[in-house]
A and B are shown apart, each in its own frame.
Chain A
Amino acid sequence: MNLRILLTAALALAMTSGGSRAADPRYPDWPCTQAKVPEISLAAVWAGPALDDVQNSWKDDAKVSALVSKLSARKTPIDEAEKSVKDFLAASATDKTANAKLLFAGLFDTLNAQRSQVMNGLERVSRKQREAADKIREETLQLQALQGTTPRDEAKVEALSNDLIWKTRIFEDRHKVVRFVCEVPTAIDQRLFALGRVIQQEME
């Protein structure tokens, strides 16, 4: 019974580790099928006035930085976030353009940083998974050797099988999580673009 579980696990492992080889040689640890785009460039999301004069000054504006935190949080639904942008800019009257620039600069910095964090995390997990896969392969061979010896040390076989089952389960769970997290950078791109578009429309 244990052996059968083991064999299936080893097979699944062989398939997943083989299939998830990175496609882009520049990023060997990138585990996603989605292409890795290290940073969102400003021009891809912003056609409004230059933000050179803004730099980090959005952090000094309490109202703007609080709004940036709220809008950057994935738990804030995008409809609600867009409405908050409109309300904020509608209330800005004379300094609308200045506020719009501050808000977008804040969102751009924050969401880009958030995105980098997620991508670094993905690559870290991907390296860990590779180590785990090596370990599982190694232990599988050990187990096979143990099973072949006579007399067989049943207690040792049992212990090692259990250990392997756990390791395989953790490996597969992580594999699923990685696939899910691979969607997050795109979700962040979408949020930044959508909010940037509303800000630019409100400025016109």
Chain B
Amino acid sequence: MLEVRDLVVGYGEAAALRGVSLDVTAGETVSLIGANGAGKSTLVKALMGMQPVTSGQVLLDGEDITRRAAADRPQLGMAIVPEGRRLFKEMTVHDNLRLGLHHRAARERADAGVDLAFEMFPVLKARSRQLCGTMSGGEQQMVALGRALVSRPRLLILDEPSLGLAPMVVDQVFEVIEAVTAQDVTVLLAEQNMHRALSLSDQGYVLADGRIVLTGTGAELLRSDRVRSAYLGER
């Protein structure tokens, strides 16, 4: 479904991505793991059109979308849960969710509208008028997930969804991701929490210093010692 071919972002020694290639098959859950600064977020932003690409290609169902505007992503069936959630903090929960349906293509796909998010996270319903900036990190992550999911994306990209959250909330977030993967949504998960990410992934890529250094099924990578050394810097 998604193919990344030799993607480079930035120049020379300062390049954030130095020729990354990966494949995401439709229906699969693929995780992208690596230490802080390995290039995960840059890759995610490049896929979403939020980061200019120096060279290489991003193909979605064979179509070159490398230089398509960020604003086209909903039309392509892509949605993102950005790093740090990046909610519209001065706006209500309801308005945040509704913006997930701003694009006409998203509204056409969405069968339940914003109610989909309320079904998944009943706690949000009672707070639909609350400003997002006044909510806890876990609640904000629910809104961010809801905002991405109400548009019924074919490809959901999550950037560090567990970052900065309490362990109990992390459990909840991964439960939701698992529920999403059980539907026919393709998921690309960029995550530092490699055990959690790999255990629900069909495929994993390990990113270090702007390059893919290791790839394999989730189970293979979980057993691999090289993952630890490449990613955790453990000696």
> Do A and B actually bind?
no
Interface residues in chain B, defined as those with a beta carbon under 8 Å from any beta carbon in chain A:
none
